Amino acid sequence: MSAPTAAPDILSPEFAADPYSAYRVMRDDHPLIWHEPTQSYVISRYADVVRAFKDPLFTSRNYDWQLEPVHGRTILQMDGREHSTHRNLVAPAFRGRDLAEKFVPVIERNSAELIEAFAADGEVDLVAQYATRFPINVIVDMLGLPKSDHEHFHRWYTSIMGFLSNLSGDETVMADGIRTKGEFEDYMVPIIAARRENPGDDLLSTLCTAEIDGERMTDHEIKAFCSLLLTAGGETTDKAIASVMSNLVAHPDQLAAVRADHSLIPAAFAETLRHSPPVHMIMRQPAEDVELSGGTVEAGRTVTCLIGAANRDPEQYERPDEFDIARPDLDQGRAYTAGANHTAFALGRHFCVGALLARTELETAVAHLLDAMDDIAFADGAPPPEHGVFTRAPSQLRLTFTPTT
Protein backbone atom coordinates (compact mmCIF):
# COMPACT_ATOMS: atom_id res chain seq x y z
CA MET A 1 0.00 0.00 0.00
CA SER A 2 1.39 3.41 -0.96
CA ALA A 3 1.78 6.09 1.69
CA PRO A 4 -0.95 8.75 1.73
CA THR A 5 -0.16 11.90 -0.22
CA ALA A 6 0.75 14.87 1.96
CA ALA A 7 -1.71 17.76 2.06
CA PRO A 8 -0.64 20.55 -0.31
CA ASP A 9 0.34 23.93 1.14
CA ILE A 10 -1.50 26.81 -0.56
CA LEU A 11 1.46 29.11 0.18
CA SER A 12 4.11 26.84 -1.36
CA PRO A 13 5.94 27.61 -4.62
CA GLU A 14 4.74 24.26 -5.97
CA PHE A 15 1.13 25.24 -5.39
CA ALA A 16 1.63 28.64 -7.05
CA ALA A 17 3.19 26.96 -10.09
CA ASP A 18 0.42 24.38 -10.53
CA PRO A 19 -2.60 24.67 -8.21
CA TYR A 20 -4.70 22.32 -10.35
CA SER A 21 -2.59 19.27 -9.49
CA ALA A 22 -2.81 20.24 -5.83
CA TYR A 23 -6.59 20.63 -6.13
CA ARG A 24 -6.89 17.02 -7.30
CA VAL A 25 -4.96 15.79 -4.25
CA MET A 26 -7.05 17.95 -1.93
CA ARG A 27 -10.40 16.80 -3.34
CA ASP A 28 -9.37 13.14 -3.32
CA ASP A 29 -7.42 12.83 -0.07
CA HIS A 30 -7.64 16.06 1.96
CA PRO A 31 -11.07 17.70 1.49
CA LEU A 32 -10.68 19.56 4.79
CA ILE A 33 -7.26 20.94 5.75
CA TRP A 34 -6.36 23.11 8.73
CA HIS A 35 -3.83 25.57 7.31
CA GLU A 36 -1.85 27.05 10.18
CA PRO A 37 -0.19 30.00 8.36
CA THR A 38 -3.54 31.47 7.26
CA GLN A 39 -5.42 30.25 10.34
CA SER A 40 -8.13 28.79 8.16
CA TYR A 41 -9.73 25.54 7.08
CA VAL A 42 -9.30 24.88 3.35
CA ILE A 43 -12.11 23.14 1.45
CA SER A 44 -11.96 21.99 -2.18
CA ARG A 45 -14.95 19.82 -3.11
CA TYR A 46 -17.76 21.37 -5.15
CA ALA A 47 -20.52 20.33 -2.73
CA ASP A 48 -18.70 21.83 0.26
CA VAL A 49 -17.88 25.11 -1.48
CA VAL A 50 -21.47 25.48 -2.71
CA ARG A 51 -22.74 24.87 0.82
CA ALA A 52 -20.36 27.49 2.25
CA PHE A 53 -21.73 30.03 -0.24
CA LYS A 54 -25.44 29.16 0.09
CA ASP A 55 -26.04 27.94 3.64
CA PRO A 56 -27.03 30.86 5.94
CA LEU A 57 -24.97 29.14 8.63
CA PHE A 58 -21.90 30.48 6.83
CA THR A 59 -21.45 34.22 7.33
CA SER A 60 -19.20 36.83 5.73
CA ARG A 61 -17.88 38.00 9.09
CA ASN A 62 -14.36 37.24 7.82
CA TYR A 63 -14.68 40.38 5.68
CA ASP A 64 -14.55 42.50 8.85
CA TRP A 65 -10.81 41.87 9.08
CA GLN A 66 -10.18 40.97 5.45
CA LEU A 67 -11.80 43.95 3.68
CA GLU A 68 -12.53 46.71 6.19
CA PRO A 69 -8.91 47.85 6.66
CA VAL A 70 -8.68 48.79 2.95
CA HIS A 71 -12.28 49.38 1.81
CA GLY A 72 -14.17 50.44 4.89
CA ARG A 73 -17.56 48.81 5.51
CA THR A 74 -19.12 47.44 2.32
CA ILE A 75 -22.22 45.41 1.46
CA LEU A 76 -20.08 42.28 1.73
CA GLN A 77 -19.85 42.80 5.50
CA MET A 78 -23.61 43.24 5.90
CA ASP A 79 -26.29 40.64 6.59
CA GLY A 80 -30.07 40.54 6.86
CA ARG A 81 -32.16 43.63 6.18
CA GLU A 82 -29.13 45.92 6.10
CA HIS A 83 -27.54 43.83 3.35
CA SER A 84 -30.78 43.63 1.36
CA THR A 85 -31.36 47.38 1.57
CA HIS A 86 -27.85 48.33 0.51
CA ARG A 87 -27.78 45.72 -2.27
CA ASN A 88 -31.08 47.11 -3.58
CA LEU A 89 -29.61 50.62 -3.51
CA VAL A 90 -26.73 49.70 -5.82
CA ALA A 91 -28.04 46.76 -7.88
CA PRO A 92 -30.29 48.66 -10.34
CA ALA A 93 -27.26 50.36 -11.91
CA PHE A 94 -25.84 46.95 -12.87
CA ARG A 95 -28.82 45.45 -14.64
CA GLY A 96 -31.69 46.24 -16.99
CA ARG A 97 -32.21 49.65 -18.53
CA ASP A 98 -29.47 51.52 -16.66
CA LEU A 99 -26.85 49.02 -17.79
CA ALA A 100 -28.13 48.90 -21.38
CA GLU A 101 -28.80 52.59 -21.92
CA LYS A 102 -26.24 54.34 -19.74
CA PHE A 103 -23.24 52.10 -19.58
CA VAL A 104 -23.08 49.87 -22.67
CA PRO A 105 -22.04 52.89 -24.78
CA VAL A 106 -19.35 53.65 -22.16
CA ILE A 107 -18.09 50.06 -22.36
CA GLU A 108 -18.05 50.02 -26.15
CA ARG A 109 -16.28 53.38 -26.42
CA ASN A 110 -13.50 52.43 -24.00
CA SER A 111 -12.89 49.11 -25.71
CA ALA A 112 -12.72 50.71 -29.16
CA GLU A 113 -10.29 53.40 -27.99
CA LEU A 114 -7.85 50.86 -26.57
CA ILE A 115 -8.00 48.56 -29.61
CA GLU A 116 -7.46 51.46 -31.99
CA ALA A 117 -4.06 52.06 -30.40
CA PHE A 118 -2.68 48.63 -31.49
CA ALA A 119 -5.07 47.38 -34.19
CA ALA A 120 -2.64 48.06 -37.07
CA ASP A 121 0.47 46.69 -35.33
CA GLY A 122 -0.01 42.96 -35.92
CA GLU A 123 1.14 42.14 -32.38
CA VAL A 124 0.03 43.02 -28.86
CA ASP A 125 0.51 42.15 -25.21
CA LEU A 126 -3.20 41.94 -24.55
CA VAL A 127 -2.74 42.14 -20.78
CA ALA A 128 -0.65 45.33 -20.69
CA GLN A 129 -2.28 47.08 -23.64
CA TYR A 130 -5.91 46.13 -23.13
CA ALA A 131 -7.02 43.88 -20.25
CA THR A 132 -5.50 45.84 -17.36
CA ARG A 133 -6.75 49.16 -18.69
CA PHE A 134 -10.20 48.39 -20.08
CA PRO A 135 -12.20 47.60 -16.88
CA ILE A 136 -10.64 50.46 -14.90
CA ASN A 137 -11.35 52.92 -17.70
CA VAL A 138 -14.95 51.69 -17.80
CA ILE A 139 -15.44 52.03 -14.03
CA VAL A 140 -13.85 55.49 -13.96
CA ASP A 141 -16.10 56.57 -16.85
CA MET A 142 -19.20 55.06 -15.23
CA LEU A 143 -18.48 56.96 -12.01
CA GLY A 144 -17.98 60.18 -13.94
CA LEU A 145 -14.38 60.59 -12.77
CA PRO A 146 -11.54 62.02 -14.89
CA LYS A 147 -9.75 59.40 -16.97
CA SER A 148 -6.62 61.49 -16.59
CA ASP A 149 -6.47 59.99 -13.08
CA HIS A 150 -6.25 56.45 -14.52
CA GLU A 151 -2.75 55.84 -13.17
CA HIS A 152 -3.89 56.74 -9.64
CA PHE A 153 -6.78 54.26 -9.90
CA HIS A 154 -4.55 51.54 -11.31
CA ARG A 155 -2.05 52.02 -8.48
CA TRP A 156 -4.81 52.02 -5.86
CA TYR A 157 -6.50 48.88 -7.12
CA THR A 158 -3.14 47.09 -7.43
CA SER A 159 -2.31 48.02 -3.84
CA ILE A 160 -5.70 46.94 -2.50
CA MET A 161 -5.59 43.63 -4.38
CA GLY A 162 -2.11 43.09 -2.98
CA PHE A 163 -3.53 43.53 0.53
CA LEU A 164 -6.46 41.18 -0.11
CA SER A 165 -4.27 38.44 -1.60
CA ASN A 166 -1.56 38.80 1.05
CA LEU A 167 -2.02 35.29 2.46
CA SER A 168 1.49 35.25 3.94
CA GLY A 169 0.90 38.43 5.98
CA ASP A 170 3.68 40.57 4.50
CA GLU A 171 3.69 43.72 6.67
CA THR A 172 4.90 46.02 3.86
CA VAL A 173 1.99 44.94 1.65
CA MET A 174 -0.42 45.47 4.55
CA ALA A 175 0.88 48.97 5.27
CA ASP A 176 0.68 49.95 1.60
CA GLY A 177 -2.94 48.78 1.40
CA ILE A 178 -3.94 50.74 4.51
CA ARG A 179 -2.18 53.85 3.20
CA THR A 180 -4.09 53.45 -0.07
CA LYS A 181 -7.40 53.47 1.80
CA GLY A 182 -6.56 56.92 3.16
CA GLU A 183 -5.50 58.26 -0.23
CA PHE A 184 -8.64 56.97 -1.93
CA GLU A 185 -10.83 58.40 0.84
CA ASP A 186 -9.18 61.83 0.54
CA TYR A 187 -9.79 61.71 -3.23
CA MET A 188 -13.39 60.44 -3.23
CA VAL A 189 -15.17 62.08 -0.28
CA PRO A 190 -15.03 65.67 -1.63
CA ILE A 191 -16.24 64.41 -5.04
CA ILE A 192 -19.13 62.56 -3.39
CA ALA A 193 -20.13 65.71 -1.50
CA ALA A 194 -20.10 67.70 -4.75
CA ARG A 195 -22.27 65.09 -6.54
CA ARG A 196 -24.82 65.24 -3.75
CA GLU A 197 -25.10 68.98 -4.35
CA ASN A 198 -25.09 68.74 -8.15
CA PRO A 199 -25.94 65.21 -9.33
CA GLY A 200 -25.34 64.24 -12.94
CA ASP A 201 -26.12 61.20 -15.09
CA ASP A 202 -23.23 59.08 -13.84
CA LEU A 203 -23.11 56.07 -11.50
CA LEU A 204 -21.63 58.07 -8.62
CA SER A 205 -24.57 60.49 -8.76
CA THR A 206 -26.96 57.53 -8.84
CA LEU A 207 -25.35 56.14 -5.69
CA CYS A 208 -25.55 59.55 -4.01
CA THR A 209 -29.27 59.97 -4.74
CA ALA A 210 -30.52 56.36 -4.47
CA GLU A 211 -33.10 55.95 -1.69
CA ILE A 212 -35.18 53.10 -0.26
CA ASP A 213 -37.75 53.77 2.49
CA GLY A 214 -36.06 57.07 3.24
CA GLU A 215 -32.63 55.45 3.62
CA ARG A 216 -29.58 56.56 1.64
CA MET A 217 -25.96 55.48 1.62
CA THR A 218 -23.57 57.62 3.64
CA ASP A 219 -20.55 59.28 2.06
CA HIS A 220 -18.26 56.64 3.50
CA GLU A 221 -20.51 53.78 2.38
CA ILE A 222 -20.45 55.18 -1.16
CA LYS A 223 -16.68 55.57 -1.00
CA ALA A 224 -16.36 51.98 0.25
CA PHE A 225 -18.56 50.69 -2.58
CA CYS A 226 -16.48 52.59 -5.16
CA SER A 227 -13.33 51.09 -3.67
CA LEU A 228 -14.88 47.62 -3.83
CA LEU A 229 -16.07 48.22 -7.40
CA LEU A 230 -12.64 49.40 -8.48
CA THR A 231 -10.88 46.29 -7.19
CA ALA A 232 -13.51 43.58 -7.67
CA GLY A 233 -14.60 44.92 -11.05
CA GLY A 234 -11.10 45.81 -12.22
CA GLU A 235 -9.04 42.83 -11.12
CA THR A 236 -11.53 40.10 -11.99
CA THR A 237 -12.51 41.48 -15.41
CA ASP A 238 -8.86 42.15 -16.23
CA LYS A 239 -7.96 38.52 -15.53
CA ALA A 240 -11.10 37.11 -17.14
CA ILE A 241 -10.35 38.85 -20.45
CA ALA A 242 -6.81 37.47 -20.49
CA SER A 243 -7.99 33.95 -19.64
CA VAL A 244 -10.89 33.88 -22.13
CA MET A 245 -8.65 34.97 -24.99
CA SER A 246 -5.83 32.63 -23.98
CA ASN A 247 -8.26 29.70 -23.75
CA LEU A 248 -9.77 30.45 -27.16
CA VAL A 249 -6.43 30.92 -28.93
CA ALA A 250 -5.28 27.63 -27.38
CA HIS A 251 -8.33 25.92 -28.92
CA PRO A 252 -8.48 27.11 -32.56
CA ASP A 253 -11.67 25.21 -33.38
CA GLN A 254 -13.52 26.90 -30.53
CA LEU A 255 -11.99 30.27 -31.46
CA ALA A 256 -13.28 29.80 -35.01
CA ALA A 257 -16.76 28.95 -33.72
CA VAL A 258 -16.88 32.08 -31.55
CA ARG A 259 -15.54 34.23 -34.38
CA ALA A 260 -18.29 32.93 -36.67
CA ASP A 261 -21.03 33.31 -34.05
CA HIS A 262 -20.60 36.03 -31.42
CA SER A 263 -23.61 34.68 -29.53
CA LEU A 264 -21.20 31.99 -28.26
CA ILE A 265 -19.13 34.56 -26.34
CA PRO A 266 -21.17 34.18 -23.11
CA ALA A 267 -20.56 30.41 -23.30
CA ALA A 268 -16.82 30.97 -23.71
CA PHE A 269 -16.84 33.31 -20.70
CA ALA A 270 -18.90 30.91 -18.57
CA GLU A 271 -16.57 28.01 -19.38
CA THR A 272 -13.57 30.17 -18.56
CA LEU A 273 -15.15 31.07 -15.20
CA ARG A 274 -15.42 27.34 -14.54
CA HIS A 275 -12.14 26.16 -16.05
CA SER A 276 -9.77 29.02 -15.13
CA PRO A 277 -11.60 31.49 -12.88
CA PRO A 278 -10.03 34.88 -12.14
CA VAL A 279 -10.60 34.41 -8.38
CA HIS A 280 -9.49 31.10 -6.91
CA MET A 281 -10.33 31.66 -3.25
CA ILE A 282 -13.12 33.26 -1.23
CA MET A 283 -13.45 33.02 2.55
CA ARG A 284 -16.45 32.40 4.79
CA GLN A 285 -16.99 31.92 8.54
CA PRO A 286 -19.59 29.58 10.09
CA ALA A 287 -21.70 30.88 12.97
CA GLU A 288 -21.97 27.36 14.43
CA ASP A 289 -19.96 24.14 14.29
CA VAL A 290 -20.55 22.55 10.89
CA GLU A 291 -19.82 19.14 9.35
CA LEU A 292 -18.12 19.14 5.95
CA SER A 293 -16.33 16.46 3.96
CA GLY A 294 -13.44 15.37 6.13
CA GLY A 295 -14.57 16.62 9.51
CA THR A 296 -15.90 19.47 11.62
CA VAL A 297 -15.28 23.20 11.27
CA GLU A 298 -15.70 25.03 14.56
CA ALA A 299 -17.88 28.13 14.85
CA GLY A 300 -16.01 31.35 14.10
CA ARG A 301 -13.17 29.68 12.20
CA THR A 302 -12.28 31.04 8.76
CA VAL A 303 -12.97 28.70 5.83
CA THR A 304 -10.99 29.22 2.61
CA CYS A 305 -13.23 28.05 -0.23
CA LEU A 306 -11.19 26.96 -3.25
CA ILE A 307 -13.24 28.05 -6.26
CA GLY A 308 -10.57 26.80 -8.65
CA ALA A 309 -10.80 23.31 -7.13
CA ALA A 310 -14.60 23.18 -6.87
CA ASN A 311 -14.99 24.18 -10.51
CA ARG A 312 -12.94 21.17 -11.63
CA ASP A 313 -14.52 18.59 -9.35
CA PRO A 314 -15.12 15.38 -11.37
CA GLU A 315 -18.13 14.68 -9.17
CA GLN A 316 -19.76 17.73 -10.77
CA TYR A 317 -18.28 17.86 -14.29
CA GLU A 318 -17.16 15.33 -16.89
CA ARG A 319 -13.65 15.93 -18.26
CA PRO A 320 -13.25 18.79 -15.74
CA ASP A 321 -9.74 19.77 -16.83
CA GLU A 322 -10.77 20.26 -20.48
CA PHE A 323 -11.91 23.63 -21.85
CA ASP A 324 -15.14 23.15 -23.80
CA ILE A 325 -17.53 26.00 -24.60
CA ALA A 326 -20.17 23.44 -25.61
CA ARG A 327 -19.95 21.66 -22.26
CA PRO A 328 -23.36 20.05 -21.57
CA ASP A 329 -22.95 19.98 -17.77
CA LEU A 330 -22.48 23.75 -17.39
CA ASP A 331 -25.86 25.46 -17.15
CA GLN A 332 -25.56 28.36 -19.59
CA GLY A 333 -29.02 29.63 -18.80
CA ARG A 334 -28.08 30.32 -15.18
CA ALA A 335 -24.34 30.93 -15.55
CA TYR A 336 -24.66 34.62 -14.61
CA THR A 337 -27.20 34.22 -11.80
CA ALA A 338 -27.15 33.28 -8.12
CA GLY A 339 -28.34 29.82 -9.21
CA ALA A 340 -25.28 29.09 -11.37
CA ASN A 341 -23.70 25.63 -11.23
CA HIS A 342 -20.20 27.05 -11.13
CA THR A 343 -18.78 28.93 -8.14
CA ALA A 344 -16.77 31.75 -9.75
CA PHE A 345 -19.24 34.53 -8.81
CA ALA A 346 -20.01 32.95 -5.42
CA LEU A 347 -23.65 31.93 -4.89
CA GLY A 348 -26.66 32.79 -2.78
CA ARG A 349 -27.19 36.16 -1.12
CA HIS A 350 -23.61 37.36 -1.71
CA PHE A 351 -23.63 36.45 -5.41
CA CYS A 352 -21.57 39.04 -7.30
CA VAL A 353 -23.70 42.14 -7.87
CA GLY A 354 -21.59 43.02 -10.93
CA ALA A 355 -21.97 39.69 -12.77
CA LEU A 356 -24.03 41.15 -15.61
CA LEU A 357 -21.66 44.11 -15.93
CA ALA A 358 -18.77 41.64 -16.19
CA ARG A 359 -20.64 39.64 -18.82
CA THR A 360 -21.36 42.82 -20.81
CA GLU A 361 -17.71 43.90 -20.63
CA LEU A 362 -16.48 40.45 -21.70
CA GLU A 363 -18.96 40.20 -24.57
CA THR A 364 -17.87 43.61 -25.82
CA ALA A 365 -14.16 42.91 -25.35
CA VAL A 366 -14.09 39.57 -27.13
CA ALA A 367 -16.35 40.73 -29.97
CA HIS A 368 -14.27 43.87 -30.57
CA LEU A 369 -10.97 41.96 -30.38
CA LEU A 370 -12.10 39.26 -32.81
CA ASP A 371 -13.46 41.88 -35.20
CA ALA A 372 -10.09 43.68 -35.20
CA MET A 373 -7.74 40.67 -35.19
CA ASP A 374 -7.57 37.71 -37.58
CA ASP A 375 -5.19 34.73 -37.62
CA ILE A 376 -4.52 35.16 -33.88
CA ALA A 377 -1.61 33.11 -32.50
CA PHE A 378 0.59 33.04 -29.43
CA ALA A 379 3.72 35.09 -30.12
CA ASP A 380 5.83 32.51 -28.26
CA GLY A 381 4.10 29.55 -29.90
CA ALA A 382 2.39 28.29 -26.74
CA PRO A 383 -0.11 29.51 -24.15
CA PRO A 384 1.50 31.67 -21.46
CA PRO A 385 1.59 30.38 -17.87
CA GLU A 386 -0.91 31.58 -15.30
CA HIS A 387 0.31 33.53 -12.28
CA GLY A 388 -1.18 34.14 -8.86
CA VAL A 389 -2.75 32.20 -6.00
CA PHE A 390 -5.67 34.27 -4.66
CA THR A 391 -6.40 35.60 -8.16
CA ARG A 392 -4.90 33.93 -11.21
CA ALA A 393 -4.43 34.51 -14.95
CA PRO A 394 -1.62 35.03 -17.48
CA SER A 395 0.45 38.08 -16.52
CA GLN A 396 1.31 38.54 -20.20
CA LEU A 397 -0.59 37.52 -23.31
CA ARG A 398 1.61 38.25 -26.31
CA LEU A 399 -0.31 37.61 -29.52
CA THR A 400 0.37 38.03 -33.22
CA PHE A 401 -2.48 38.71 -35.61
CA THR A 402 -3.48 39.99 -39.01
CA PRO A 403 -5.27 43.35 -38.80
CA THR A 404 -8.73 43.12 -40.32
CA THR A 405 -8.68 46.68 -41.72
**Segments making up each domain of the chain, as ranges:** 13-403
Residue range 43-61: mean pLDDT, rounded: 93
Tens digit of each residue's pLDDT (9 = 90 or more) over 151-176: 888 888 888 888 877 777 788 988 98
Q: Check residue 85 and give its pLDDT.
A: 67
Question: Given pLDDT bands bounded at 50, 70 and 90, which one contains residue 100?
Answer: low
In the predicted model, what is the mean pLDDT of residues 222-241?
86
Q: Are 320 and 313 in contact (CB under 8 A)?
A: yes
| Confidence at residue 88, expressed as pLDDT on a 0 to 100 scale | 66
Residue 397: pLDDT band by 50, 70, 90 thresholds?
Answer: very high
Interval 381-391: pLDDT, tens: 999 999 999 89
pLDDT at 297 over 70: yes
C-alpha–C-alpha distance, residues 103 and 108, integer Å: 9
* CATH class of the domain comprising 13-403: mainly alpha
Predicted local distance difference test score (pLDDT) of residue 1: 41
311 to each of 47, 283, 393, how far by Cα in Å?
A: 10, 16, 15
pTM value is 0.91
Rounded Cα distance between 386 and 312, Å, is 16
What average pLDDT does the chain have?
A: 89
The residues with which 212 forms a beta bridge, in sequence order, are 215
Q: What tens digit of pLDDT does each residue of 318-372 get?
A: 999 999 999 999 999 999 888 899 999 888 776 777 788 889 999 999 999 999 9
Average pLDDT over residues 282-311: 96
- Helix ranges, 55-121 (H): 63-66, 68-71, 80-90, 96-97, 104-116
Q: Please give the Cα distance from 89 to 134 (Å, whole number).
A: 26
Q: What is the pLDDT of residue 263?
A: 96
Q: Does the pLDDT value for residue 394 go beyond 70?
A: yes
> Dihedral sign, CA of 159, 164, 169, 174?
positive
User: Is 69 a residue whose pLDDT tops 90?
Assistant: no
pLDDT digits (tens, 9 = 90+) for 118-139: 999 999 999 999 999 999 899 8
